[in-house]
Amino acid sequence: MEGLISALFVFVLASFAGFEIINKVPPTLHTPLMSGSNAISGISLIGALLVASSTENLTLATILGFIAVIAATVNVVGGFLVTDRMLEMFKKKEG
């Protein structure tokens, strides 16, 4: 129970931090912000890694975990790269 309470603390504080950090993003950056934060939401990859390797032999849990690892990795890698591709275009005309 204590673990849950401190996890809730972390969740609430992180949400407030998120609101503060992201407020006032100019419209030009809305798409990159969305795809970049989308890549961060692929953080469930960490959970997927833990579930996929929770036993040595193949079980339903590890199979589901394995699929989750693939899905989350596509989310993370695709998300960061495509955001970088976009931001590169934004940058090149400044010079």
Partner 1 sequence: MAEFLPSGIQLAYLTAVGLFILGLKRMSSPATARQGNILGAVGMLLAVGATLLDQHILNYTYLAVGLAIGSALGVWIAYGVAMTDMPQMVGFLNGLGGLASSLVAVGEYWRLTHSGTDIPIVVGISILLSVLIGNVTFTGSMVAFAKLQGILPGTPIKFVGQQWVNGALLVGFVLGSGWLLFQPDLWIFLTINLIALVVGILLVVPIGGGDMPVVISLLNSFSGLAGSAAGFVVMNNILIVAGALVGASGLILTQIMCKAMNRSLLNVLFSGFGSVTAEGAATEQSQGTVRQIDAEEAAMIMGYARSVVIVPGYGMAVAQAQHAVRELAEALEKLGVDVKYAIHPVAGRMPGHMNVLLAEANVPYSQLYDMEDINPQFPYVDVALVIGANDVVNPSARTAKDSPIYGMPILEVDRAKHTIVIKRGMNKGFAGVENELFFKERTMMLFGNAKETVMALTNALKELQG
In terms of phi and psi (left: phi > 0; alpha: psi -120 to 50; beta: otherwise), the region of 19 is alpha
Q: How far is the CB of 12 from partner 1 (least distance, A)?
A: 8
The verdict on 78 binding partner 1 (CB under 8 A) reads yes
Q: How far is the CB of 2 from partner 1 (least distance, A)?
A: 11
Question: What are the structure tokens assigned to 11, written together?
Answer: 């969740």
Provide the mask over 54-73, with x wherever binding to partner 1 is found by CB under 8 A and - wherever it is not: xxx--xxxx-xxxxxxxxxx
Map residue 73 onto helix, strand or coil: helix
The verdict on 3 binding partner 1 (CB under 8 A) reads yes
CA atoms of 77 and 72, how far apart (whole Å) = 9
Provide the mask over 15-34, with x wherever binding to partner 1 is found by CB under 8 A and - wherever it is not: xxxxx-xxxxxxxxxxxxxx
Q: How many CA atoms lie within 13 A of 22 on its CB side?
A: 14
Q: How far is the CB of 5 from partner 1 (least distance, A)?
A: 10
